[in-house]
Amino acid sequence: MQSTQEPADIAVIGAGIVGSALAYYLSNNNKTKKIILVDRSLTPLNGSTGHAPGFVGQYNDSAILTRLARDTVQEYTTIPGGFDTIGGIELATSQTGAERLQRRYDSARAAGLPAELISPEEAARMAPALIKKEDVTSALYFASDGAASATCITRFYQDEARARGVECIEADITGIHKDGNGRVDGVNTGTAGFIPAKTVILATGIWAPELLPNIDTPIPIVPVAHPYMYGPYHDQKKVPSPWIRWPDHHVYARDHGPFYGLGSYNHAPVAQEPKDTAIGEWISEFDNTLKDALGFIPPETGLTPRETFNGIFSMTPDNLPLVGEVPGLEGVYLAAAVWVTHAAGTARFLCDVLEGKEVDGEIKRGLDPGRFAGRDGKTLRKVALGGYNEIYRVGGAEL
Ligand SMILES: Cc1cc2nc3c(=O)[nH]c(=O)nc-3n(C[C@H](O)[C@H](O)[C@H](O)COP(=O)(O)OP(=O)(O)OC[C@H]3O[C@@H](n4cnc5c(N)ncnc54)[C@H](O)[C@@H]3O)c2cc1C
């Protein structure tokens, strides 16, 4: 493939929170390199980032995810309007749930995160509109958690990257192109012709598998459907409530300021092929899922669905992202199935890898896109989908 353009040193494909963070960190450290950021829609953000309510719970049963979340929060708190440290509360409604919270409390403290077991009364005082204290047997408060404004952070990263010379291009990538030696030399687009690049990073979220159709190693990123709702507008409180999770019931709620939001994993997992955006068609079963979830909210709050949507995000078999060089595709890197909660830390980690810095070997192995080599792709997809209802349990993504 011939091109008269000077090849980019690095082409980041996908300008959601992950790709934009990558453009930002890469341009910070590589001022002489040509870096481009390509997305089929720079405005609006059509991927998952544009729809994430932005819960950030740093503690995770996976030490790798806890580390990435902590690194991420450290970064987000420096971005104007990027992060609100409202705290987060997990609630148990049974003895088993209370025992689990106790274990999470112990592990979070051991990891050095501020965590506190509080009484149901105290929890209800912190979020009176969202907690029925008579339901609660135990509550765990994470004071340094909060809510990220994913769109604000993404815009910040893009603007800063542009100011450092990153070129942002609107184009639909149709394939990765390799030279005669099998090394990547650019990407093909539907509208902007061939774009030459020495290194390509796929930060294409739920669409990541589409650009990797012919590799031997399974890349088990499974897009799933997920219901979320916004409630009616109300007068905003001076201090927003912490986010709330009912892990035993797979339900969570957030104070968005002028309205409340509610989401639930308490339904049969649904794999979803994404089209142009991360919003799928509404699934009628989700009406009941949200109705059940509303049962946890005090009736006097008057929370009813003003707007509902099916937002699509990625699951993987071990609930960890896939980040690193793609096996068998020299020069092609992946940064996918990354939550808002882990985006900045993950982007910084991948930058270090690309810059040849020494990185934590455990994280590198844990995130390696080649870690499923030799496994059966169909089984892996099944396992990834099955993890949806366990999202709050086994090293889940802690939405
Ligand atoms: C309803 C919902 C609730 C969520 N809640 C939370 C939460 O509370 N906390 C949390 O941490 N995470 C949450 N998530 C998950 C989080 O939103 C995602 O994990 C994260 O935004 C992924 O970011 P990304 O940059 O990898 O992908 P995306 O934001 O999806 O960006 C990928 C980009 O790639 C572009 N692209 C794809 N293919 C191509 C192509 N061929 N050519 C050009 N461009 C392409 C797309 O246009 C898109 O802009 C939620 C997600 C949803 C949908």
Tens of pLDDT, residue by residue over 100-145, are: 999 999 999 999 999 999 999 999 999 999 999 999 999 999 999 9
Across 258-265, average pLDDT? 97
Q: How many angstroms separate the alpha carbon of residue 47 from the centre of ligand 1?
A: 4
Q: How many angstroms separate the alpha carbon of residue 49 from the centre of ligand 1?
A: 4
Considering only CA atoms, which residue is closest to atom 10 of ligand 1?
Answer: 340
Considering the domain delimited by 8-49+151-218+319-375, tell me its CATH architecture: 3-Layer(bba) Sandwich (3.50)
Considering only CA atoms, which residue is closest to atom 33 of ligand 1?
Answer: 14
The yes-or-no verdict on residue 397 having pLDDT over 90 is: no
The yes-or-no verdict on residue 1 having pLDDT over 80 is: no
Do 146 and 239 touch, CB atoms closer than 8 A?
no
Q: Which of 56, 170, 272, 340 to mutate to test the pocket of ligand 1 (most atoms within 8 A of CB)?
A: 340
Q: Which residues of 71-85 are buried (b: 16+ CB within 10 A; e: fewer)?
A: bbbebbeebeebbbe
Q: How many residues are present in the chain?
A: 399
* Strands 279-280 and 243-246, bridge-based pairing: unpaired
Q: How many angstroms separate the alpha carbon of residue 382 from the centre of ligand 1?
A: 21
pLDDT of residue 396: 45
Do 67 and 58 touch, CB atoms closer than 8 A?
no
The yes-or-no verdict on residue 81 having pLDDT over 70 is: yes
Across 275-286, average pLDDT? 97
Considering only CA atoms, which residue is closest to atom 44 of ligand 1?
Answer: 39
Instruction: In the chain, list all ranges with CATH 3.30.9.10.
Output: 88-143+222-315
Across 324-328, average pLDDT? 95
Share of the chain above pLDDT 70, in %: 97
Q: Where are the beta strands (DSSP E) in the chain?
A: 8-13, 35-39, 55-56, 83-84, 88-92, 116-118, 138-142, 146-148, 167-170, 173-178, 184-189, 194-202, 222-230, 243-246, 251-255, 260-264, 279-280, 307-315, 322-325, 332-336
The yes-or-no verdict on residue 325 having pLDDT over 80 is: yes
Across 84-96, average pLDDT? 97
Instruction: In the chain, list all ranges with CATH 3.50.50.60.
Output: 8-49+151-218+319-375
Tokens of 57: 């719970």
pLDDT of residue 395: 44
pLDDT of residue 237: 87
Do 84 and 255 touch, CB atoms closer than 8 A?
no
Ligand 1, CB cutoff 6 Å, lining residues: 13-19, 38-41, 45-49, 51-55, 150, 172-173, 203-207, 211, 226, 228, 278, 311-313, 336, 338-341, 399
pLDDT of residue 104: 96
Pick the closest to residue 33 from 157, 162, 166, 159 (CA basis).
166
Task: Report the atom number in ligand 1 closest to the C-alpha of 39.
Answer: 44
Task: Report the atom number in ligand 1 closest to the C-alpha of 342.
Answer: 11
Mean pLDDT score of the chain: 94
Across 337-345, average pLDDT? 98
Pick the closest to residue 91 from 136, 125, 126 (CA basis).
136
Q: How many angstroms separate the alpha carbon of residue 310 from the centre of ligand 1?
A: 13
Considering only CA atoms, which residue is closest to atom 6 of ligand 1?
Answer: 52
Considering only CA atoms, which residue is closest to atom 35 of ligand 1?
Answer: 14
The yes-or-no verdict on residue 3 having pLDDT over 70 is: no
Across 203-211, average pLDDT? 96
Task: Report the atom number in ligand 1 closest to the C-alpha of 340.
Answer: 11
Give the position of tokens 């274990």: 103
Task: Report the atom number in ligand 1 closest to the C-alpha of 49.
Answer: 21
CATH topology of domain 88-143+222-315: D-Amino Acid Oxidase; Chain A, domain 2 (3.30.9)
pLDDT of residue 45: 93
Under the banding of pLDDT at 50, 70 and 90, the label for residue 398 is very low
Q: How many angstroms separate the alpha carbon of residue 172 from the centre of ligand 1?
A: 16
Q: How many angstroms separate the alpha carbon of residue 102 from the centre of ligand 1?
A: 32
Under the banding of pLDDT at 50, 70 and 90, the label for residue 4 is low
Q: How many angstroms separate the alpha carbon of residue 313 from the centre of ligand 1?
A: 7
